[in-house]
Amino acid sequence: MEIINFDKENSLISQFMLELRDEKIQKDRLKFRKNLERIGEIMAYEISKRISYEKVEVKTCLGTANCNKIGEKIVIGTILRAGLPFHQGFLNYIDDAENAFVSAYRKFKEKDHFNIHIEYIASPRLDDKTLILVDPMLATGASMELSYEALLTKGHPGRIHLAAVIASRQAVEFIEKHFPADRTTLWVGVVDDEINEHSYIIPGLGDAGDLAFGEKE
């Protein structure tokens, strides 16, 4: 499996990541959501270099131009709710994409022990399409893997791009074991080395859903 870690080289993602992590700046929910969206836009642009295009002729007011158009059917999938601003960044650039949504949440049995539950999916058919599945935080990788399994009820994509803002080293290793290596690429803004006893990424940035939309009961 190919892993693209944007932290390996400098880009605007580095600046947006700083602002997402800074506990003072991240209190501005609008800015937090906008930075998730911006990182999604940058990743969408980079992914666009890996998809296929086809030649078309376009009439202008002065003649005919040879142009390239996207030659793949693309579905952008996201895990609710933290993924919504991140998802929007991808959709801003790949605006003709179809969309899929999965509700995955932690159901706690005890204080620090939980299972991931899938409650809802809405998706077009995925057969032979390119699936871009986005989730800003990959702590263990379990939500991403279960969401993918749920989406497989709608067909099997031909190519898979997984995108995260921050992932733990453990999640990256989990993803490598549970996704088809020959047709999956993982795109991540940065990889942090550990998760704590609550399965939060350290140093991470906290709960992305709460920072984007407010705390939940």
Give the domain ranges of the chain: 2-213
Whether residue 181 is predicted with pLDDT greater than 90 in this model: the reply is yes
Work out the burial of residue 98: count CB atoms within 10 Å of its CB; fewer than 13 is exposed, 13-18 middle, 19 or more buried: middle
What pLDDT shows up at residue 199?
Answer: 86
Q: What is the mean pLDDT of residues 79-98?
A: 96
**Which structure tokens are listed for 136?**
């800003």
Mention every residue, 6+ apart, whose C-beta is less than 8 A from residue 80: 101, 102, 103, 104, 120
Whether residue 169 is predicted with pLDDT greater than 60 in this model: the reply is yes
Taking Cα atoms as reference points, which of 214, 186, 201, 175 lies closest to residue 21? 201
Domain 2-213 adopts which CATH fold? Rossmann fold (3.40.50)
Contact 134, 163 (CB under 8 A): yes
Mean pLDDT, the chain, integer: 93
Contact 155, 70 (CB under 8 A): no
What pLDDT shows up at residue 94?
Answer: 97
What SS3 state is found at 19?
helix
Q: How would residue 53 be classed by pLDDT, with cut points 50, 70 and 90?
A: very high
Q: How would residue 72 be classed by pLDDT, with cut points 50, 70 and 90?
A: very high
Contact 116, 142 (CB under 8 A): yes
What pLDDT shows up at residue 88?
Answer: 98
The stretches of the chain forming alpha helices (DSSP H) are 12-21, 29-48, 83-93, 142-151, 169-178, 208-213
Query: CA of 194: how far to CAs of 56, 68, 139, in Å?
Result: 48, 43, 9
Please write the tens of the pLDDT for every residue from 91-127. Answer: 999 999 999 999 876 554 554 554 567 778 999 999 9
Taking Cα atoms as reference points, which of 133, 142, 178 lies closest to residue 160? 133
Provide the residue count of the chain.
217
Residue 81 preceded by cis peptide, ω within 30: yes
What pTM was estimated for this model as a whole? 0.92
